[in-house]
Chain A
């Protein structure tokens, strides 16, 4: 039996009266690139912080590389590394010196290793500049280098390409792929659906601290609504309000304007007629293919506790069901 790289069961975290994580389960195997998806505030970063021991958990069990991490055990096991949000460094030290000090904390005083990881993230030329002069993208690369210093077998990357230019993002994706190919489990939090679809073999959707769905990329993709329509109207806000009164329709405002509508044909027909009856003109209506993005938008459009339970039940009933449901 292969040892799991990460196994989290029933992880919960509460800040005051707000539940940030509610019984989250997460399993990642060695060599797996696992995407962690969800809207802003879903709990992805908090989950990473909990798993990395930066934040204590209120319930649940966590095993990292087979090592049981107790709630009070704020200590990073060997072989686990990563960064959360834009990593911070000492601005009065060079990038190289920052890494050398971090390596010293890990008990490694070999300068060749620092040069090696700087080269891996493409930062060798700027290694002797002060970290305070680094751009956000360079700090992200330095954060990745700091993580690589630990020769990780489980690597957490929180939006690792968010501040990088396209070439830098491509390099980081290639590096993540190489690490996974060599057996490292990589947990990747991202808003970039294309990035997740390109890289990840498994993924987990989180929303309001719940795991909505988790499984293989293909399996989760099949759970995306089969009938997604992009709708532009004369009054998208009013059209959204109208859709919210119809239980057979889910509608969300699309990032590029207009609405994404998740509904069957009959429900869509009735909805379009009702738009006309209320004086809202339909300007365009086009069918879209099944994609992670449409699933993301559908999940992001469900915000109430009741809606989330309904959505989970709906996804569980949707055919085919190859994914692991939480």
Chain B
């Protein structure tokens, strides 16, 4: 594997992603949906009271990205993290392009690494766009008012926005873990539907498990726990252990899933 080879593959994958309507639609939705949400909150009297910071959404614009973050953890992050990761390998099977791709001057290791990095980069880009758009929508549509944090302390909007940025950053490892899960599903099943669908089903199952009273060891090994680990950032005093724990769990998912997927691809007979 060489840096030149990996970057060549990554650049090709980005060109392919940029040409696909699916990926452009997802990115456009990440930009537009927070504005739709913020406008909807502003023009109606009901607020999402069952969501963290939902009650504050019409009183402080900086609450909007936190409400979107809480909502996105349920469905959006697993889907966004899987939409490219779950398709990036299986699409080659769907189009019959593996031989075309492998008969170039790149090793399978280059191709694997380039594709995985492209998928991870897409997941990060989508989440960053969603975060930036949520902040912009909250500030522009609702306003830049102080926010009462989870401990009941009124905080000025500037420091809260820093915490908001950290909160969004804290979900990136878990999103990367889901991307790795999607890559594994994509390589193993050779099906885009399974590559995208299985991680989403896994996310739903994990979130349902988190609601029941199961063994703590399993609960602590759930990758979805990272999507709620940011709560400690909006408390006084702040606590970071859940974020660190979620990063470790996500790292393990990443290593295990990608190692298995790489070995499967490396030993696979194409069209045999």
Residues of chain A at the chain B interface (Cβ within 8 Å):
13, 15, 46, 49, 52-56, 74-76, 78, 81-93, 97, 101-102, 104-107, 143, 146-147, 150
Cα-based distance from A89 to B101 in the complex (angstroms): 9
Inter-chain contact total with CB atoms closer than 8 Å? 98
Q: Any chain A CB within 8 A of the CB of B48? A: no
With both chains docked as a complex, state the minimum distance between the C-beta of A175 and any C-beta of chain B, in angstroms: 18
A201 to B6 CA separation, bound complex (whole angstroms): 41
Cβ of B97 within 8 Å of any chain A Cβ, yes or no, is yes
A82 to B103, Cβ gap below 8 A?
Answer: yes
Q: How far is the CA of A93 from the CA of B9 in the complex (A)?
A: 16
Is the CB–CB distance between A93 and B16 below 8 Å? yes
Dominant SS among interface residues on chain A:
loop
- A76-B102 in contact given A85-B271, A93-B16 (Cβ < 8 Å): yes
CA distance A325 to B251 in the complex (A): 57
> Cα distance A89–B98 when bound, in Å?
9
Given contacts A49-B270, A55-B270, contact A93 B102 (CB under 8 A): no
Of A13, A15, A104, A105, which is in contact with the most chain B CB atoms at under 10 Å from its CB? A105
Nearest CB to that of B15 among chain A residues?
A101
Bound CA–CA A87/B104 (angstroms): 13
Cβ–Cβ contact B97 & A89, under 8 A? yes
**Which of A15, A74, A78, A105 lies in contact with B8, CB distance below 8 A?**
A105
> Which of B105-113, B171-179, B232-240 contacts its partner?
B105-113
Interfacial residues of chain B within 225-272, with CB under 8 A of chain A in the complex:
266-267, 269-272
Tell me if B271 and A89 are in contact (CB < 8 A). no
Given known A-B contacts A55-B270, A56-B269, A83 and B100 have beta carbons under 8 A apart? yes
List residues of B (56-92) whose CB comes within 8 Å of A's CBs: none
- With a CB–CB cut-off of 8 A, which chain B residues contact A83? 99-100, 103
CB distance from A107 to the nearest CB of B (A): 6
Instruction: Let me know if B104 and A102 touch, CB within 8 A.
Output: yes
Give the residues in chain B near A81, CB-CB below 8 Å.
103
Task: Flag whether B218 is at the interface (Cβ < 8 A).
Answer: no
Pick from A76, A90, A93, A143 the residue with the most CB of B within 10 Å: A90
Q: What A residues does B95 contact at CB under 8 A? A: 88-91
Known: A74-B266, A83-B103, A105-B105. A55 touches B271 (CB 8 A): yes
Question: Is B96 interfacial (CB 8 A cutoff)?
Answer: yes
CB nearest neighbor in B for A78: B105
Residue of A55, A87, A88, A106 with most partner-chain B CB within 10 A? A88
